[in-house]
Amino acid sequence: MTPTIPATRITRPAPAANPFATRFTRPGMIAPLDRAGRPIDVPALLDRAIALGPLVTIEGPHGSGKSTLHIALVRHAATQGRPTACLRSTSASDVWRMAAALGAIPRGALVGLDGGERLPPGAFVLIHAMARLRGLVVVATVHRPMRLPVLARCHTSPTLLAAIIDRLPSHGGRIDRADIDEALARHSGDVREALFDLYDRFEQRRR
């Protein structure tokens, strides 16, 4: 009787996770960095926001790190025992929804307002009044000057994008500096879109 030889199971290593996936790159996953790729002093910036309040802005174009910075400020305030809240505007019609939300937030809270550029300029008069009345500090992200105290201005650069990539899981050498420069230039300095671009490049090269 011929002995049966067990079949050999062929195992292949699981493909590496794409380091540019949103679970690694979405706002809040990486500490905020300046355009030179250096960590931003979030505690000092929070102290400045409180001193400048009740309504301050973080200015910058799309994909420049505004959301990342405002999330870091809210999280740090929470570690200091301060009440916090995050609001997001999606359209100009959100004015009264924002006002109602501010009225329900505990006094003394730090409030992150993302998407402030979607609100009409006059909305900030109402938000400022509500914040002062409630003793809040509101940090709003905007794309353009709003005649309000500016807490920070966000800018991007290839150096910043490279520093972000250094903090992601390894890409195994599939992405080089030329890719970084080209992706950022193609998307006019928008780091978020550049990371989506690099996601596609990584997928193509690991196949």
Asked whether 92 and 119 are in contact (CB, 8 A), the reply is yes
Region 5-25 average pLDDT: 70
- 147 and 48, same structural domain? yes
Residue 30 lies inside a defined structural domain of this protein: no
CATH of the domain at 111: 3.40.50.300
- 197 and 148, same structural domain? no
- 128 and 74, same structural domain? yes
- 92 and 191, same structural domain? no
Q: List, in sequence order, the alpha helices (H) in the chain.
A: 22-25, 42-52, 66-79, 95-104, 123-134, 158-166, 177-186, 191-206
Q: Does the pLDDT of residue 14 top 80, yes or no? A: no
- 202 and 125, same structural domain? no
* Structural domain boundaries enclosing 197: 156-206
Domain boundary among 153, 175, 197: 153
Structure tokens at 79: 């570690």
- 115 and 146, same structural domain? yes
Q: What is the pLDDT of residues 82-136, one digit of tens each?
A: 999 999 999 888 888 888 999 999 999 999 999 998 998 789 999 999 999 999 9
Of 201, 37, 64, 83, nearest to 142 by C-alpha is: 64
Q: Which amino acid is at 29?
A: M
When divided into structural domains, the chain yields a total of 2
Q: What is the pLDDT of residues 150-199, one digit of tens each?
A: 999 999 999 999 999 999 999 999 999 999 999 999 999 999 999 999 99
Residue 32 lies inside a defined structural domain of this protein: no
Cα-based torsion angle of the residue sequence 186, 189, 28, 169 in order, rounded to the nearest 10 degrees: 50
pLDDT for residue 168: 96
Residue 103 lies inside a defined structural domain of this protein: yes
SS3 at position 139: strand
Q: Does the pLDDT of residue 3 top 80, yes or no? A: no
pLDDT for residue 115: 92
- 93 and 190, same structural domain? no
SS3 at position 151: strand
Confidence of residue 9 (pLDDT cuts 50, 70, 90): low
Structure tokens at 78: 């929470």
Strand order in the sheet with 150-153: 84-88, 110-114, 137-142, 55-59, 150-153
Q: What is the pLDDT of residues 85-99, one digit of tens each?
A: 999 999 888 888 888
- 162 and 87, same structural domain? no
Asked whether 65 and 39 are in contact (CB, 8 A), the reply is no
Residue 31 lies inside a defined structural domain of this protein: no
Peptide bond into 19 cis (omega under 30): no
- 196 and 133, same structural domain? no
pLDDT for residue 122: 86
Q: Enumerate residues 6+ apart whose C-beta is below 8 A from 90.
A: 115, 118
Residue 181 lies inside a defined structural domain of this protein: yes
- 55 and 76, same structural domain? yes
Q: What is the pTM of this model?
A: 0.87
Of 151, 159, 141, nearest to 45 by C-alpha is: 151
Q: Enumerate residues 6+ apart whose C-beta is below 8 A from 116.
A: 57, 89, 124, 140, 141, 142, 146
- 185 and 102, same structural domain? no
Residue 114 lies inside a defined structural domain of this protein: yes
Q: Does the pLDDT of residue 4 top 70, yes or no? A: no
Confidence of residue 2 (pLDDT cuts 50, 70, 90): low
Residue 122 lies inside a defined structural domain of this protein: yes
- 138 and 191, same structural domain? no
Q: What is the pLDDT of residues 45-72, one digit of tens each?
A: 999 999 998 999 999 999 999 999 999 9
Residue 13 lies inside a defined structural domain of this protein: no
